Structure 1
């Protein structure tokens, strides 16, 4: 692979000029392709979908401090899918990398975003539409620039620990992030998806939770949401009939 690393801002400019609209090897290499299972003739077409992600990035930190890598991968289901990676130009910053897969059969949504901070076992964020994805990328750019320690990294670890210790899950557990303090995983024991809430404040737990079902790991409280008692619907008292009339 060519060692030339094109910053994202320059990549966008090249794409606008049509530099990557050809299937020539040198052009595809400059676009960032370094591994593929599809035919080389189809790379330019596949790049169009990935380019929608790259071209939607607007934050200066990503534009000027990252370069692009692309892969076409094959799953165990013999389904091909694509990945675009954003890699820091400075090797010492590799922990700030992130990558996005499109129609990844291993995961649950159309777009899956993985980060060095969250790990490669499950996406930090996933969604079904590209605009939502781009909003998330441009939002986390400042966190990556400042190298902030986001709380959900520790929350994810606590959720995995809960799945192993409280649920008895064997082996690796893919912990998906569903939103603020909410996570889920698909059980290897019953095949069902289970929701876990992890928070440093019990105010963030559901109103119907049972305190005895909350595990505490350090400063975090971990709670299996499906263990909460559903709120009961008030039962309307039966009317009493007197003298043939209902009262």
Structure 2
């Protein structure tokens, strides 16, 4: 991947409105890596997921200085598109957590997978954004 910025810096840019533009280059800078939706949908998706990410605090499960964020819009062969965002280590590029949003294969709206169990089974599931943020914090 390219030279990534910390989540702390990403949140500062997000709060300053740096990722509001609908142009594809801005959304790639926001962290979009792969998508199947229309390019014009990315800014709204960034806003929706950014509103979650900005609530993650220092000292929890995510190191805001040593991790970065990236986004995907996934296209299962036999179901609807769904979004996810991923926390990855800046130094190793290893994905640490994957947060899937409204994936029809999952039981809940927000499902978290973790590197520690090779992303095999969810480590957290909820219909509540607040509960997920609390879990991360």
| Distance (whole Å) between structure 1 residues aligned to residue 48 and residue 121 of structure 2 | 22
> Residue 48 of structure 2: SS of its match in structure 1?
helix
Q: Give the match for residue 22 of structure 1.
A: 21
Moved more, 78-87 or 22-31: 22-31
Matched, 1:118 2:136: no
> Residue 64 of structure 1: SS of its match in structure 2?
coil
Is the contact made by 1:50 and 1:84 (CA closer than 8 Å) also made in structure 2?
Answer: yes
Query: Shift of the alpha carbon at 1:37?
Result: 0.5
In the comparison of the two structures, how many residue pairs are matched? 135
Provide runs of 4+ in structure 1 moved above 3 Å.
none
Matched, 1:35 2:34: yes
* Superposition TM-score, scaled by structure 2 size: 0.91
Higher relative contact order (CA 8 A, sep 6+): 2
Structure 2: runs of 5+ lacking an equivalent = none
Is the contact made by 1:6 and 1:30 (CA closer than 8 Å) also made in structure 2?
Answer: no
Q: Give the match for residue 6 of structure 1.
A: 5
Query: Shift of the alpha carbon at 1:119?
Result: 2.6
Structure number with greater Rg is 1
- 1:186-225 pair list within 5 angstroms: none
* Superposition TM-score, scaled by structure 1 size: 0.52
Deviation string 1:121-169 (CA, Å, 9 cap, x unpaired) is 321110110110011112xxxxxxxxxxxxxxxxxxxxxxxxxxxxxxx
| Distance (whole Å) between structure 1 residues aligned to residue 6 and residue 98 of structure 2 | 15
Structure 1: runs of 5+ lacking an equivalent = 139-247
Two-structure CA RMSD over aligned residues (Å): 1.6
Query: Shift of the alpha carbon at 1:26?
Result: 2.0
> Residue 116 of structure 2: SS of its match in structure 1?
coil
| Distance (whole Å) between structure 2 residues aligned to residue 14 and residue 80 of structure 1 | 27
